[in-house]
Structures are given as C-alpha cells and as structure tokens.
Amino acid sequence: MNAPTRVTNNLEAFWMPFTANRQFKANPRMFVSAKDMHYTTADGRSVLDGTAGLWCCNAGHSRPRIVEAIQHQAAELDYAPAFQMGHPKAFDLASRLVQLTPPGMDHVFFTNSGSEAVDTALKTALAYHRARGEGSRFRLIGRERGYHGVGFGGISVGGIVSNRKMFGTMLTGVDHIRHTHDLSRNAFSRGLPEFGAEYAEDLERVIALHDASTIAAVIIEPVAGSTGVLIPPKGYLERIRAICDKHGILLIFDEVITGFGRLGTPFAADYFGVTPDLMTVAKGITSGVIPMGAMFAKKHIYEAFMQGPEHMIEFFHGYTYSANPVACAAALGTLDVYQEEGLLTRAAELAPYWADAIHSLKGLPHVIDIRNLGLIGAVELEPIQGQPTKRAFTAFLKAYDKGLLIRTTGDIIALSPPLIISKAEIDDLVTTLGDVLKTLD
C-alpha cells in the first residue's frame, strides 16, 4: 500500500464554518502552532491571541499539564461506552466541577459542545416539568440577539437573524424577549450599564401573552457574547430571576462564554449573585483543547427524574462522546491549571487595568461605543453606509497583518484574551488595535 499522500495547498475540500470561504481561500490565514498567549502563522509570524481562540482557551495555549493529561489518557483508556458504563475520570470530573458551581448546582450532564449543552438544557426543562405532572409547560423563551449555538433548539431560542432566517420554522412554541442594548443611554459604560433593568419586565409581557402555565424555561446569556458583547444593565438579571420564580419558570444561564473565569469569578452566576436552575458550559471547560460541553442542574431537577423502576433509563438523552475519557482528562488537567494559577479569579484583578486600556480607544475614528466586563471588551464601530460588517472585517484583517487576533461580529470588535494575559500584553493588544482603528476608512 502506498503511504497516504498529504495534499497541500488545496483549500477547496474543507467547507469552513462561519467563514467567508471564498475570501479566505483567496487569502488564507493559517496558524501552525501556539504557545501561551501567541499563535504562529504559516509564514512564521507571531500573533497575539486577543480572543482566546473562540472565547475558549482560557488557560492559554499548549499548556504542558493539559497536553500531558491528554497524552496519558489516550494511551491508557481511549474510549469507554458512555451509556450503561462508566470510567473513573467522568465521576472525578463531575465531582470537581460541582464544587466550583454555585451552591445547589449539584449534577452535571456531559455533552461535546455548547450547542449540545443548550439542546440538553432545553430538553431537560421540558422533561422536568412533564415528570412533575406539568407537561403543559412546553414553551421556551429566548432573547433577541441571543446566541445559543447552532442546533435547532439553539437557533430557535437564539435571536440573531442571519443564524435563523435560512432554516425554516425551527422549534415551535418559542418566543423572545427584547435585548438590552441601548447606546442612547449607556454608550461608553465601564462595567455594568446604569440603565435598562426595566427591560426585564418584557418577560412579564411575554408571560401575560402566553400564560405562565405554558412556559417551561427562559434561556439567557448573562453577558451576551457572539452578538457583540451586550453587558446586562445593573439589576436586570436579578429581576429576570425574580420573575421566573414568581411564575414557576426555570431559568437557564448559558455560560458557554462566561463560564470558567471570564468575569473574574468561576461563573457569571457568582459574579451577579444570581443562581439559575440550569447552566450550560463548554469552551473553557477544557480550555478549548478537546471538545466538551456540559449542563449543570440543581438537585431538585435531577431528583425529579430519579423515579420509576430502577432498571429503567431515566432520561432518554445523551451522546456517544458524553464524558469521553480523553475530554475528561483534558478537563481535569485544565481545572488543575486554573487552580494552581488562580485563573478563575485572575480576571477580577486585571479588570480595572483592562477597562482603562480598552476605554483609552475612545475618540478614535468611527468608534461609537466601548464596553467591558471582567476580561471581556468590545469596540463598536459605525457601519459603513450600505456595507454593514465591512469596516469591522477590514479591522480584523488589518489586525491580523499587524500580529493581533480579534473577533468581529457585525461592526463590533470583541476581545476576550486568555486569562493568563500580562499587563504588558494588554498594552500590546490595545496599542495594535488603536493603530488599526486609526487607519480605517
């Protein structure tokens, strides 16, 4: 048999996700290695990671503790069936994770991505009510501009029009409350915006329309990420929680971005002092190294399922790779790094410096807002008339040429560096971004 041929320079076969395929293939941007805060490109340039990959590499890149955990696990136990069988690391990981979660969130269901974690949470909410004899609660409520991944469940409760409009009717029985973005009152807020807690009352409007007895759950990103970093107004999440409690509706926090230290606390639930009933995570759970996601559930939700004959499966849901041993090893290694280096709280120490740094970009051409929380930042640009997204995409390309990776969505630049970033690297990031913004048409 011939040795397999490595096809180089042929970019056609790979249909790239969420990518301008034709633009990319005409001007490829390839990373070939990464270490700590930097990527290296195919042409040997160093690129500062301003986005922790896609909001996931919270511990930085190619950390030896995580790499070794994966190598060791692949050699010792590569795979074990996830249904009706177990392996010790799945239970070790679950036990360690629930020590980190807010009190009462005592159970974990493993998935392989944030989208699957969201699907799992939506299904859990529906099945929970049914198990308690309240099967009339079939509606799911999301928010305008919300992002909950790309499964049919996630796009149905999500509120980003381009992610929804091509895909038919999606799930039925879904409604949305309004988003909280309000530049007229909150532009250039540092941290939590002052105005807009009353937007939570929009949930009462939707409840009045459908009746609470038909609503299973509300799903919310505590800080909306993908839509361009929308930071909740002061008091907003507390009011959402109170309204859910009043009407017996489950509250799901989608913490795929905010989980694992992004705000300077292990979870956004800790930051805001608001505990959901279900919580979804992914990304930072393995620092992005191996795909993994999870749903956390409060004890009473898990217990509502633990009924009927003991030999019966309680929840007809799961994935071939739920709690995959290599993913579990990666997650355990990641938690070790987070713990040893204090990374789950490091963003709190850096937040004031980070805020000063990114707000120093105020006044540069086309900048209509700057916002921040924890180690998240966003710079919103005035769109070019008739060409939405183009100005920010140009900034992305220019930043890459200057050695900085940023993310753009619409005309918003989002920043979320690994939690190991130094102050000197924050300076570097902001200086490069400022240089880019100065050159934008």
Residues of this chain that bind ligand PXG (CB under 6 A): 54-55, 113-115, 118, 147-149, 221, 225-226, 254, 256-257, 282, 293, 407, 409, 414
The least CB distance from residue 290 to ligand PXG, in Å, is 12
Q: Is the Cβ–Cβ distance between 273 and 38 less than 8 Å?
A: no
Helix (H, G, I), strand (E, B) or coil at 367: strand
Q: Which is nearer to ligand PXG, 207 or 297 (CB)?
A: 297
The least CB distance from residue 76 to ligand PXG, in Å, is 27
Query: How many other CB atoms are found less than 10 A from the CB of residue 195?
Result: 14
Q: Which is nearer to ligand PXG, 254 or 425 (CB)?
A: 254
Q: Which is nearer to ligand PXG, 115 or 189 (CB)?
A: 115
The least CB distance from residue 151 to ligand PXG, in Å, is 8
Q: Which residues contact 163 (CB under 8 A, 6 or more apart)?
A: 147, 150, 155
The least CB distance from residue 134 to ligand PXG, in Å, is 26
202 vs 180: CA distance, rounded Å: 10
- Give the CB-nearest residue to ligand PXG: 114
Residue 382: which of 399, 366, 400 has the closest Cα?
366
Residue 77: which of 64, 97, 63, 92 has the closest Cα?
92
The least CB distance from residue 23 to ligand PXG, in Å, is 17
DSSP characters for 14-43?
Answer: ---TTS-HHHHHHS---EEEEEBTEEEETT
Helix (H, G, I), strand (E, B) or coil at 319: coil
Query: How many other CB atoms are found less than 10 A from the CB of residue 124?
Result: 26
Q: Which is nearer to ligand PXG, 181 or 207 (CB)?
A: 181
Q: Which is nearer to ligand PXG, 207 or 406 (CB)?
A: 406
Q: Which is nearer to ligand PXG, 192 or 392 (CB)?
A: 392
The least CB distance from residue 246 to ligand PXG, in Å, is 25
Residue 248, sorted as left (phi over 0), alpha (psi -120 to 50) or beta, turns out to be left
